[in-house]
Amino acid sequence: MKARYVLTDYVEQALARAAYDKLGNGSYAGRIPSCRGVVAFAQTLQACEKELRSVLEDWVLLGLKMGHKLPIIASIDLNRGPKREPVEAL
């Protein structure tokens, strides 16, 4: 059975939904429409993809830290708290 990493899956699924545009000066812009504010710019498409991944990762981590509601992507909901076993009183 393959190990499943929720954050990695979330980032990969979000990047699969990215939109890229070639700008008039030959550089590229990338964005993930469902992730408000996640945008990147670079001179090449490959560099733009790499920068967009970095921006997305930072955006997710900051959103989790700040308690922001993140979009559900490919049925991955990062807004649910972790499941914890009940702790017995000492």
Task: Map out the domains of the chain as residue ranges.
Answer: 6-66
Question: What is the reported pLDDT for 81?
Answer: 66
Question: What is the reported pLDDT for 83?
Answer: 63
Question: What is the reported pLDDT for 69?
Answer: 96
Distance CA 27, CA 89 (A): 60
The CATH number fitting domain 6-66, selected from 1.20.1740.10, 3.40.30.10, 3.30.160.250, 3.90.105.10: 3.30.160.250
Going across the sheet that includes 28-31, the strands are 19-22, 28-31, 39-42
User: pLDDT averaged over consecutive 10-residue blocks of the chain (90 residues)?
Assistant: 83 98 98 97 98 98 95 93 65
Question: What is the reported pLDDT for 4?
Answer: 76
Question: What is the reported pLDDT for 76?
Answer: 94
Predicted TM-score (pTM) of this structure: 0.83
Question: What is the reported pLDDT for 84?
Answer: 64
Residue 12 CA, chain-centre distance (Å), reads: 7
